[in-house]
């Protein structure tokens, strides 16, 4: 009983602390003078270095959707709808969610580890002592960079996924090419596209906040200290981010439908 209460209290406290952390990070975007260069470096780290893996995942995701969709639709004799099934699934759900989860694994975990190591080796304290706002130096550029990178990578994922569906549906299973693309254009609505982008923006803020927060507070962990704390912080950041992504996805989907 007492343990339960303490658990809930801890959850509340860390949620509150992470929210304040997020606010400070946003404030740092305005305050920091030289944020441009660091943001470009972070876009490179978060965005450019993830292009290949996102394309790979997107392509296979589209291919498997094409296969599954084909064998379901063929039972109703409406394989012509394959294009709309693939594009709607990708644009509304899988694109934003899978991109965010992949980026959590690829970019989020390295954010946590990097900031965590900086924390345990006094580098963050050194920044503060030099009167360099460590939040504005470390967290704000990452927030900005992920706001750029997440939607762009989501769009890339969607387009590559549709191409993947084209490969299975049209090239391998022989659906008419014109029908495939006509169906996609006819069934996707503006709200689907914008809803997907809003999701990816929300995921960008969630993932970056959670991952940076875990790294930034590595020294406050009670379960471990030193390098082990960096490891635990990284694990926790990935787990919490993924849970947040899926929970937020449910809430956002219920808004848009």
**Could you tell me how many helices (H) and strands (E) the chain has, helices first?**
12, 0
Site size toward another protein, by CB under 8 A: 47
First to last CA, the chain: 39
Site for another protein in 87-126 (CB under 8 A): 87, 91, 114, 117-118, 121-123, 125-126
Site for another protein in 209-248 (CB under 8 A): none
Of the residues 8, 51, 56, 172, which one makes contact with another protein according to CB under 8 A: 51
What 42-46 contacts at long range (C-beta under 8 Å, 24+ apart), as own/partner pairs, is 42/141, 42/142, 42/144, 42/145, 42/146, 43/145, 43/148, 43/149, 45/107, 45/110, 45/145, 46/103, 46/107, 46/142, 46/145, 46/146, 46/149
Decide whether 13 or 243 has the Cβ nearer to another protein: 13
Provide the CA 193 distance to its chain's centre, in angstroms. Answer: 17
Of the residues 8, 9, 11, 41, which one makes contact with another protein according to CB under 8 A: 41
- Determine, following the binding rule CB under 8 A, whether residue 13 of this chain makes contact with another protein: no
Q: How far is the CB of 173 from another protein (least distance, A)?
A: 20
Q: How far is the CB of 101 from another protein (least distance, A)?
A: 18
Complete DSSP assignment for 64-96 = HHHHHHHHHHGGGT-GGGHHHHHHHIIIIIIHH
Closest Cα partner for 139 from 12, 41, 21, 18?
21
Of the residues 63, 85, 139, 188, which one makes contact with another protein according to CB under 8 A: 188
Stretch that binds another protein, among 8-16, 38-46, 209-217, 249-257 (CB under 8 A): 38-46
Site for another protein in 133-172 (CB under 8 A): 137, 148-149, 151-153, 155-156, 158-159
Decide whether 138 or 244 has the Cβ nearer to another protein: 138
Stretch that binds another protein, among 15-23, 102-110, 127-135, 237-245 (CB under 8 A): 127-135
CA–CA dist 151, 140 (Å, integer):
18
């Amino acid at each position: 009983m007492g343990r339960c209460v303490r658990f809930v209290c801890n959850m509340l406290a860390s949620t509150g602390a992470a929210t304040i952390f997020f606010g400070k990070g946003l404030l740092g975007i305005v305050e920091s003078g030289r944020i441009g260069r660091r943001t470009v470096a972070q876009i490179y780290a978060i965005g450019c270095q993830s292009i290949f893996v996102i394309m790979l995942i997107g392509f296979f995701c589209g291919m498997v959707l094409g296969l599954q969709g084909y064998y379901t639709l063929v039972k109703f004799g409406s394989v012509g709808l394959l294009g709309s099934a693939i594009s709607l699934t990708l644009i509304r759900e899988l694109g934003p969610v899978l991109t965010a989860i992949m980026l959590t694994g690829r970019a989020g975990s390295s954010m946590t580890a990097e900031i965590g190591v900086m924390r345990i080796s006094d580098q963050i304290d050194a920044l503060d002592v030099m009167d360099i706002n460590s939040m504005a130096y470390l967290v704000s550029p990452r927030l900005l960079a992920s706001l750029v990178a997440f939607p762009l990578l989501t769009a890339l994922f969607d387009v590559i996924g549709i191409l993947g569906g084209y490969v299975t549906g049209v090239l391998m299973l022989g659906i008419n090419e014109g029908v495939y693309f006509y169906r996609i254009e006819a069934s996707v609505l503006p709200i689907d596209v914008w809803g997907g982008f809003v999701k990816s923006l929300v995921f960008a803020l969630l993932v970056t906040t959670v991952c940076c927060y875990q790294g930034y507070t590595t020294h406050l962990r009670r379960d471990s200290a030193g390098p082990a704390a960096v490891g635990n912080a990284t694990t926790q950041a990935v787990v919490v981010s993924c849970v947040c992504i899926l929970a937020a996805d449910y809430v956002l989907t219920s808004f848009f439908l």
